[in-house]
């Protein structure tokens, strides 16, 4: 080996050139391999953290225009309402070749009525007046309620009793032909806060008090049941021709209308003790969790098995848990009273504490609605919500419990108070990352244009494109490295081995056996290959650090709802190039093996020739 | 003096993929130490093939060849070449990237002799062949053909064997160097007790030999001796 190296060193230019080129070839190979592996590893890491979901919205077939009287303008107003021939179901999305990680779902949210719990709206302002009520009242003067008129609330049938005796404004605002009200008569009505005070009352208020903030007038509401049919229709078209104001006379509360007032009164303040419960099949399908507005701050997510089996487990909001002295692992009582398939909980139970509750909590017989399902749910995760201040259609509901959809037995919708088509906030599904184009291709073939799909992938497509480009570059480098390595090995093995056939023949004639000759020639060559491979591989590994996702100029964020901290979106920490060391070793060994293999075959060729023949041949030449 | 090499009806057939060529036919002869043998003949007559067999680089396809009384097929031929027989070529075939001294040291290094002794003995061999020590550190291509052949002879001697096989050793030399080399080979045989077997078609070399064999179409016959 010593002589072998000595002879190599005596052709320094050739040896140095070989070494340098081997370093370069190994560098290309390792760099390509490292970047390729880094691309795969990075993608795999991102793959777990990125989620691609689609939301579904049914496009209205038409818009119905109805006219509604406006007492303030003394004119009819055009009210436009979206019309749907029928509601599509999620089955429409189960077209051939559609691959889902979570199948499409249309979520209902349920209202759980548990008076012993302190709900968010009550906790932030326990003394707030609940303005809507069912009450008896009398006008201060005989009047036509075609504008704001003053009334005195004489008796609260249902609602905040502190309002009994209060003087306020009233208008039969949407009735083009209101009836006279007489000061010596008592009337009963559902009084909802409606429009701003208008008419003469407004002028007087402005004149006498120079009021800047004008309050709202009460408007009456009808006594029909608020229940809906699954197709969105009402269960009861009108009660007593839609009459809203009733004169209270002796025996009034024995009449159908009177009984309805009493029954409606029983649940008038129910909203204060209600919380929304949303059933889903996967937490990430809920947009607040997907987009990071809601995040699990304690405990864990509901797992796949629990979702599939319909376990009685839930995710509960931090404020609700705190307000009720509950902690992780405790049970939450759920008493389902109402069902809503039209919107998400955030549109009824606002994060700022307002509650846009339903009216008409009676059935067609006028009886008050009853809890239809009672359960105890174990809290496995507590989540918190960031309030952006912007009103988003995806906002979660205050006090909203998240439960497995399968855990709700009456999920087909009992006490249905609102029913509607799929919307972006209620209907979603999950597909594999990077499958949007493929999915849309299938959807274009099998889907309907009445369903509008919107996809969210957290920038996955952009990231994947970047990484794919990186992988293409790495493939080019790898191919160039492999080709260059092979060319170099073939060329230099020709110089160092084939052209050294004479040396081999001399060594043989001096008594070296074939194995010794092989070692003599190969040792120096393989050592150079190994050295070049090692230096090149190590340099390649170092250089590969410069090629990282962070250096592509894009910043990617971890959007996984389970790893967030409050008000902060964590930057993804990708473990890059974990295998660069083994890669360098692998590339070096690969080059060494290839070099040895090629050199071995060339050497065998040299050894096959008889030394005498070879040396004599040279002689004659 | 005992026979160091004895050939008994030696034949050799080159076998290629498509044909067989008989290079040697029933060659019988013997060689002793202390004598110079010349094998003459035209190109392609089988001289070099015979020399190859004598060097143990191949074995006869027919007949027997005995080295020190042992069949060449049964001995370790690599060891034989390393310790007993050395070959000198027309084109010298020195290692071009080793110095003159390193070339001579090479066979001894194969025998795992210490570096110091190897160097001393190499210098002695070079002195014996009459090479000035100013050339020891030079590369083979920096010295003349005659000097290169002397280095080749010194390297052959360095292996320690007493059989010196030479294939046209003067073929590339001028007449003056030719004479020097022939004298050197004769001296080695007669004074150092080597068995020198020279394949040549040079008459002057043949004249200096003690025994001359002629080879024609693979058959050997005694011309003089």
pLDDT in tens, A590-613: 888 998 899 888 888 878 777 766
Q: Looking at the predicted structure, is the pLDDT value of residue A571 above 60?
A: no
A141 φψ region: left (φ > 0), alpha (ψ -120 to 50), beta (else): beta
Q: Looking at residue A621, what is its pLDDT?
A: 35
pLDDT in tens, B66-99: 998 999 999 988 888 888 888 888 888 898 889 9
Instruction: Select the residue of B55, B79, B171 nearest A619 (Cβ to Cβ).
Output: B171
Q: Looking at the predicted structure, is the pLDDT value of residue A553 above 70?
A: no
Q: Looking at residue A191, what is its pLDDT?
A: 94
What average pLDDT is seen over chain A? 87
Coil, helix or strand at residue A486: helix
DSSP, res A8: H
DSSP codes joined into one string, B112-156: T--HHHHHHHHHHHHHHTT--GGGTTS-GGGS-HHHHHHHHHHHH
pTM tops 0.90: no
Mean pLDDT, residues A105-118 taken together: 95
Q: Looking at residue A505, what is its pLDDT?
A: 83
Q: Looking at residue B184, what is its pLDDT?
A: 87
What average pLDDT is seen over chain B? 88
The Cα A271–Cα A398 span in angstroms is 12
Q: Looking at the predicted structure, is the pLDDT value of residue A212 above 70?
A: no
DSSP codes joined into one string, A48-97: HH--EEEEEEEPPSEEEEEEEEETTTTEEEEEEEEE-SS---GGGG--TT
Q: Looking at residue A613, what is its pLDDT?
A: 67
User: What is the distance in angstroms between the Cα of A18 and the nearest Cα belonging to chain B?
Assistant: 18
pLDDT in tens, A427-470: 999 999 889 999 999 999 999 999 999 999 888 888 888 888 88
Q: Do A615 and B93 touch (CB under 8 A)?
A: yes
Q: Looking at the predicted structure, is the pLDDT value of residue A47 above 80?
A: no
Our CA angle for A95, A96, A99, nearest 5°, is 85
**Quick one: which of A479, A477, A427 has its CA closest to A453?**
A427
Our CA angle for A319, A324, A329, nearest 5°, is 85
Grade residue A616 by pLDDT with cuts at 50, 70 and 90.
low
Q: Looking at residue B14, what is its pLDDT?
A: 82
Q: Looking at the predicted structure, is the pLDDT value of residue A573 above 60?
A: no
pLDDT in tens, A234-274: 988 888 888 999 999 999 999 999 999 999 999 988 999 99
Residue of B nearest to A12 (CA): B97
The Cα A590–Cα A585 span in angstroms is 8
The Cα A529–Cα A492 span in angstroms is 10
Q: Which residue has the higher pLDDT, B128 or B137?
A: B137
| Contact predicate A197/A215, CB 8 Å | yes
Q: Do A612 and B51 touch (CB under 8 A)?
A: yes
The first and second tokens of residue A418, run together, are: 């609102």
Q: Do B102 and A3 touch (CB under 8 A)?
A: yes
Q: How many residues does chain A have?
A: 621
Q: Looking at the predicted structure, is the pLDDT value of residue A565 above 50?
A: no
The first and second tokens of residue B110, run together, are: 């194969």
Which residue do the tokens 């909802």 mark? A192
Grade residue A422 by pLDDT with cuts at 50, 70 and 90.
very high
Q: Looking at residue A575, what is its pLDDT?
A: 53
CA dihedral in degrees (B108, B112, B116, B117; nearest 10)?
Answer: -60
- Chain A interface, mutation test: which of B61, B110, B169, B171, most A Cβ atoms within 10 Å? B110
Grade residue A411 by pLDDT with cuts at 50, 70 and 90.
confident
Handedness of CA A463, A469, A473, A476 (dihedral sign): positive
Chain A residues interacting with chain B (CB cutoff of 8 angstroms): 3, 6-7, 10-11, 502-503, 505-506, 508-513, 516, 610-613, 615-616, 618-620
pLDDT in tens, A325-355: 999 999 999 999 999 999 999 999 999 888 8
Chain B neighbors of A519, CB-CB under 8 A: none
* Residue B37 φ then ψ, to 5°: -115, 135
Q: Looking at the predicted structure, is the pLDDT value of residue A128 above 60?
A: yes
Handedness of CA A188, A142, A140, A176 (dihedral sign): positive
Coil, helix or strand at residue B192: helix
Range A9-15 contact pairs with CB under 8 angstroms and sequence separation of 24 or more: A10/B97, A11/B97, A14/A495, A15/A528
Q: Do B93 and A502 touch (CB under 8 A)?
A: yes
Q: Looking at the predicted structure, is the pLDDT value of residue A140 above 90?
A: yes
**Quick one: which of A372, A380, A281 has its CA closest to A326?**
A380
pLDDT in tens, B12-23: 988 777 788 888
Grade residue A576 by pLDDT with cuts at 50, 70 and 90.
low
* Element holding A170 (H helix, E strand): strand A167-170
Q: Looking at residue A141, what is its pLDDT?
A: 94
Paired with A187 in beta bridges are A137, A247
Grade residue A619 by pLDDT with cuts at 50, 70 and 90.
very low
The Cα A490–Cα A594 span in angstroms is 10
Q: Do B95 and A7 touch (CB under 8 A)?
A: yes
DSSP, res A212: S
Grade residue B6 by pLDDT with cuts at 50, 70 and 90.
very high
Q: Is A42 exposed, middle or buried (0-12, 13-18, 19+ CB in 10 A)?
A: buried
Q: Which residue has the higher pLDDT, A573 or A535?
A: A535
Q: Looking at the predicted structure, is the pLDDT value of residue B190 above 80?
A: yes
Q: Do A510 and B110 touch (CB under 8 A)?
A: yes
Q: Looking at residue A389, what is its pLDDT?
A: 65
The Cα B109–Cα A1 span in angstroms is 11
Mean pLDDT, residues A195-208 taken together: 85
Q: Looking at residue A517, what is its pLDDT?
A: 85
**Quick one: which of B155, B179, B163, B42 has its CA closest to B93?**
B155
| All residues at 6 or more sequence positions from A263 whose CB lies less than 8 Å from its CB, including other chains | A362, A366, A367, A368
Residue of A nearest to B90 (CA): A619
Q: Do B91 and A511 touch (CB under 8 A)?
A: no
The Cα A136–Cα A156 span in angstroms is 6
| All residues at 6 or more sequence positions from A404 whose CB lies less than 8 Å from its CB, including other chains | A279, A280, A281, A302, A306, A307, A308, A309, A310, A311, A313
């Amino acid at each position: 080996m010593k002589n072998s190296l000595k002879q190599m060193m005596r052709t320094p230019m050739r040896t140095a050139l070989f070494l340098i080129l081997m370093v370069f070839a190994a560098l290309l190979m390792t760099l390509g391999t490292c970047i390729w592996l880094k691309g795969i590893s990075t993608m795999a890491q991102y793959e777990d953290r990125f989620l691609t979901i689609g939301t579904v919205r049914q496009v209205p077939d038409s818009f119905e225009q109805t006219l509604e009287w406006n007492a303030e303008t003394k004119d009819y107003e055009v009210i436009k309402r979206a019309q749907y021939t029928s509601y599509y179901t999620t089955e429409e999305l189960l077209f051939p070749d559609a691959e889902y990680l979570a199948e499409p779902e249309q979520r209902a949210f349920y209202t759980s009525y548990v008076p012993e719990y302190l709900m968010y709206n009550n906790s932030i302002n326990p003394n707030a007046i609940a303005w809507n009520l069912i009450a008896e009242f009398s006008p201060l003067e005989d009047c036509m309620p075609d504008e704001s008129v003053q009334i005195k609330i004489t008796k609260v049938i249902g609602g905040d009793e502190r309002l009994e005796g209060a003087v306020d404004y009233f208008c039969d605002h949407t009735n083009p032909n209101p009836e006279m009200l007489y000061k010596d008569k008592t009337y009963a009505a559902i009084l909802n806060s409606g429009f701003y005070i208008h008419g003469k009352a407004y002028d007087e208020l402005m004149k006498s008090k120079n009021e800047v903030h004008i309050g709202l007038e009460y408007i009456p509401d009808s006594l029909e049941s608020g229940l809906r049919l699954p197709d969105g229709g009402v269960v009861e078209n009108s009660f007593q021709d839609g009459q809203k104001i009733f004169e209270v006379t002796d025996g009034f509360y024995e009449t159908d209308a009177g009984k309805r007032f009493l029954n409606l009164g029983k649940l008038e303040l129910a909203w204060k003790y209600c919380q929304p419960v949303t059933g889903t099949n996967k937490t990430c399908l809920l947009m607040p969790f997907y987009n990071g507005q809601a995040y699990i701050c304690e405990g864990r997510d509901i797992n796949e098995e629990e979702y599939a089996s319909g376990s009685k487990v839930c995710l509960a909001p931090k404020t609700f848990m705190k307000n009720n002295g509950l902690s992780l692992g405790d049970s939450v009582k759920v008493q389902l009273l109402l069902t809503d398939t039209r919107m998400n909980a955030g549109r009824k139970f606002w994060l700022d504490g307002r509650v846009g509750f339903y009216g008409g909590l009676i059935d067609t017989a006028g009886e008050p609605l009853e809890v239809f399902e009672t359960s105890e749910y174990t809290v496995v995760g507590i989540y918190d919500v960031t309030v952006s201040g912007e009103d988003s259609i995806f906002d979660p509901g205050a006090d909203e419990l998240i439960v497995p959809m399968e855990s709700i037995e009456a999920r087909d919708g009992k006490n249905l108070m609102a029913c509607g088509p799929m919307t972006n906030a209620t209907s979603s599904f999950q597909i594999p990352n990077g499958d949007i184009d493929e999915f849309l291709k299938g959807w274009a073939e099998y889907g309907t244009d009445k369903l509008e799909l919107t996809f969210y992938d957290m920038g996955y497509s952009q990231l994947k494109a970047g990484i794919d480009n990186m992988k293409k570059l790495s493939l080019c480098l790898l191919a160039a490295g492999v080709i260059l390595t092979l060319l170099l090995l073939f060329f230099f093995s020709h110089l160092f081995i084939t052209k050294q056939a004479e040396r081999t023949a001399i060594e043989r004639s001096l008594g070296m056996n074939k194995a010794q000759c092989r070692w003599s020639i190969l040792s120096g060559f393989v050592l150079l290959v190994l050295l070049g491979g090692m230096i090149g591989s190590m340099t390649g590994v170092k250089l590969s650090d410069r090629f990282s996702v962070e250096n592509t100029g894009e910043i990617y964020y971890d959007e996984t709802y389970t790893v967030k901290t409050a008000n902060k979106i964590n930057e993804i920490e990708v473990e890059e190039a974990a295998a660069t060391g083994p890669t360098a070793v692998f590339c070096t060994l690969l080059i060494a093996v290839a070099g040895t293999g090629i050199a071995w075959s060339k050497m065998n060729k040299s050894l096959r020739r008889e030394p005498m023949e070879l040396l004599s041949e040279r002689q004659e030449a | 003096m005992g026979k160091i090499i004895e050939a008994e009806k030696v034949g050799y057939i080159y076998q290629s993929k498509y044909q067989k060529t008989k290079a040697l036919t029933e060659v019988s002869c013997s060689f002793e130490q202390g004598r110079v043998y010349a094998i003459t003949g035209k190109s392609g007559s089988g001289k070099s093939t015979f020399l190859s067999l004598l060097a143990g680089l191949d074995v006869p396809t027919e007949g027997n060849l005995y080295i020190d009384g042992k069949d060449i097929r049964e001995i370790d031929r690599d060891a034989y070449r390393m310790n007993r027989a050395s070959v000198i070529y027309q084109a010298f075939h020195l290692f071009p990237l080793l110095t003159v001294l390193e070339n001579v040291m090479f066979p001894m290094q194969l025998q795992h002799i210490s570096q110091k002794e190897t160097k001393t003995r190499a210098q002695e061999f070079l002195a014996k062949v009459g090479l000035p020590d100013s050339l020891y550190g030079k590369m083979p291509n920096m010295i003349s053909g005659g000097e290169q052949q002397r280095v080749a002879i010194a390297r052959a001697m360095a292996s320690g064997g007493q059989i010196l096989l030479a294939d046209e050793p003067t073929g590339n030399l001028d007449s003056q160097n030719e004479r020097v080399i022939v004298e050197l080979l004769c001296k080695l045989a007669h004074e150092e007790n080597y068995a020198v077997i020279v394949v040549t078609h040079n008459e002057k070399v043949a004249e200096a030999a003690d025994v001359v064999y002629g080879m024609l179409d693979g058959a050997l016959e005694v011309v003089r001796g």
